[in-house]
Amino acid sequence: MEEEISDSRSCYRMTRHSWFTQRAFTINKQHNIWDRESGLNRYNKQGCLPVLTHEQEFYRSIVPGLSVSNAGYGLGFIRKFTPDGKMLISFSLQKDALWVFKYKGVGSVQNSLRSCYEEVVDCDLDIDPDLAQDLFNFHLAIPIITEQYSRWTLNREFSIFLENGRYVLLAARCYINYISVPREYYLKYPDIHDDTEIFDYTFFLVDLKEGIVSDTYKIRDYVSLNNNYGVSAVGNLIAITSYCRQCIDILEVHNGKLVSLCQLNKEQETMRREQLNHELHTNGVPEPPMKGILSPLKQQCISHLYKEANACNCCERKERLLKFYKDFPLYEEVKLAKSQFINKETLLMRFEMPRNTSTDTGSEQPSRDTMYFKLYVFYSLSELKVLRIFQHDSKELLHLQRDFYESLRNVRSWHTGRPASSPSNSIYYRFKHDT
């Protein structure tokens, strides 16, 4: 009797061990999701009897990824899917037109894969073009660069979808750059940064539903387009950061048209304009450090920093004011480098030191604090005023940034309701970094 019990236990151990080993090394995504979501882990991996324990009390967010290799479609630059995943946009080889494909799903290639018995599809097989035609159906070609833009080319690293993917914003730049900055820029933009090259840019609002270019917007400045660096969008609002003029153009998409709402950091006061105009006619084109006139946006930032330092208690006021006067030359030197929408009402701007600053004397290298000095400004578009300003070494800004990113990826398990496996969701992590 005892021998039968021992044999049954050993069979049970072997069966359970073999079952868990297969489940542990399985490539079935459904099994992996079940195991991760349940939180069961085997801590004695070397033992004959696996013991399952709840070692983690959170759900690891899994984003399924799928790559279809060796599925080429003609000559061009494939960019991205629309937000709904139904269409794929691509640039032509000459970068003068936009190609739109309809995505039919991965299941559409099953008939083509029946003739391939290998795990890897070689590029020299005839199945290569068949896979692309099965996955994507050519929908339409939208010409962007016409004869009047003969010296222009589309930037294939720039594309922004608007209004749930109905519109896509593209940009083109002229080959020829302007050596000198237009004189009226010095009159309208006191904080101009004329040490950079300027080009002609045209932004195209393409209607993917109608297959036409619905509107255009032109700028003569320097805009960083790669990876959408100089342009931010939320909803139907667009913010374009101009590095030379040091201003931000706020646009709105309304019925397929680009409507200019406002232009931040543009000179508005008549008296200051008259003074600038007098300098233009008497001294020629003045250099920005010689003018002694700050832009409206920089004036608001400096005023906010002074009021914030002066509002401290008696113990901190002297120290904060000394730091303010010490950093005042840096406040004058910083340039607007990037802007990003937080929401439709709030805009985050980053001011940083330019590469060649006027504070550099001779061959002396600027200090590390001067080189990496940055200001992060939260600006209200509805009230047109500065809300908060943080420097690059602010701990409060670090916590705001951490919580902001965590709120975007804070998915929860539908089965257990546990949050994602993020450090910010750990009470020990918060206790360590928030105290």
90 domain-assigned: yes
Report the pLDDT averaged over residues 157-178. Answer: 89
Pick the more confident residue, 345 or 400: 345
Give the separation between CA 314 and CA 309, rounded to whole angstroms: 11
Report the pLDDT averaged over residues 119-125. Answer: 56
Q: Are residues 158 and 242 in the same domain?
A: yes
Cα 271–276–280 angle (5° rounding)? 145
413 domain-assigned: no
pLDDT digits (tens, 9 = 90+) for 299-315: 999 999 999 998 888 88
Q: Which range (51-55, 269-273, 377-381) has the least confidence?
A: 51-55
68 domain-assigned: no
Q: Which of 430, 412, 432, 408 is closest to 421 using CA atoms?
A: 412
Report the pLDDT averaged over residues 82-86. Answer: 85
Q: Write down the H helix ranges in 248-358.
A: 270-283, 288-291, 296-310, 314-333
The per-residue pLDDT for 370 is 76
Structural domain range at position 227: 152-293
Q: Are residues 279 and 202 in the same domain?
A: yes
Highest mean pLDDT among 51-60, 61-70, 210-219, 390-399: 210-219
Q: Are residues 279 and 183 in the same domain?
A: yes
The per-residue pLDDT for 177 is 74
pLDDT digits (tens, 9 = 90+) for 89-112: 989 888 888 999 998 877 777 777
Question: Exposed, middle or buried by CB within 10 Å (0-12, 13-18, 19+), for 138?
Answer: middle
Give the separation between CA 367 and CA 370, rounded to whole angstroms: 5
416 domain-assigned: no
Q: Are residues 288 and 309 in the same domain?
A: no
| pLDDT at residue 7 is higher than 70 | no
Q: Are residues 177 and 255 in the same domain?
A: yes
Provide the CATH number for the domain around residue 224: 2.40.10.480
Q: Are residues 285 and 341 in the same domain?
A: no
The per-residue pLDDT for 432 is 46
Residue 247 main-chain phi, psi, to 5 deg: -140, 170
pLDDT digits (tens, 9 = 90+) for 32-48: 555 555 555 554 455 55
What is the band of 142 on the pLDDT scale with cuts at 50, 70, 90?
A: very high
Integer angstrom CA distances of residue 167 from 145, 209, 213, 248, 366 = 17, 8, 9, 22, 45
Cα 314–329–388 angle (5° rounding)? 55
Q: Are residues 213 and 336 in the same domain?
A: no
Give the separation between CA 386 and CA 393, rounded to whole angstroms: 19
Q: Which of 414, 416, 432 is closest to 424 using CA atoms?
A: 432
Give the separation between CA 306 and CA 324, rounded to whole angstroms: 7
What is the band of 71 on the pLDDT scale with cuts at 50, 70, 90?
A: low
Beta strands in 24-114 (DSSP E): 40-42, 52-54, 76-81, 87-92, 97-103
Residues 189, 295: contact at Cβ < 8 Å? yes
Residues 123, 83: contact at Cβ < 8 Å? no
Q: Are residues 99 and 156 in the same domain?
A: no
The per-residue pLDDT for 292 is 56
59 domain-assigned: no
- Last residue in a domain, options 143, 175, 199: 143
The per-residue pLDDT for 181 is 82
The label of the residue with tokens 């195209």 reads 204
What is the band of 350 on the pLDDT scale with cuts at 50, 70, 90?
A: very high
* Domains identified in the chain, total number: 4
85 domain-assigned: yes
| pLDDT at residue 182 is higher than 60 | yes
Q: Are residues 239 and 344 in the same domain?
A: no
Question: Exposed, middle or buried by CB within 10 Å (0-12, 13-18, 19+), for 35?
Answer: middle
Give the separation between CA 103 and CA 106, rounded to whole angstroms: 9
| pLDDT at residue 425 is higher than 70 | no
The label of the residue with tokens 């939260």 reads 378
The per-residue pLDDT for 57 is 43
- Last residue in a domain, options 266, 293, 320: 293
pTM of the model as a whole:
0.71
Mean pLDDT of the chain: 74
The per-residue pLDDT for 43 is 47
Q: Are residues 355 and 278 in the same domain?
A: no
What is the band of 202 on the pLDDT scale with cuts at 50, 70, 90?
A: very high
Q: Determine how many CB atoms are found less than 10 A away from the CB of residue 275.
A: 15
Q: Are residues 287 and 269 in the same domain?
A: yes
Highest mean pLDDT among 29-33, 268-272, 309-313, 403-407: 309-313
Pick the more confident residue, 314 or 160: 160
420 domain-assigned: no
- Last residue in a domain, options 293, 312, 339: 293
pLDDT cut 90: percent of the chain above it: 26
18 domain-assigned: yes
Q: Which range (135-149, 272-286, 295-309) has the least confidence?
A: 272-286
What is the band of 288 on the pLDDT scale with cuts at 50, 70, 90?
A: very low
The per-residue pLDDT for 168 is 94
Q: Are residues 205 and 233 in the same domain?
A: yes
pLDDT digits (tens, 9 = 90+) for 323-333: 899 989 899 88
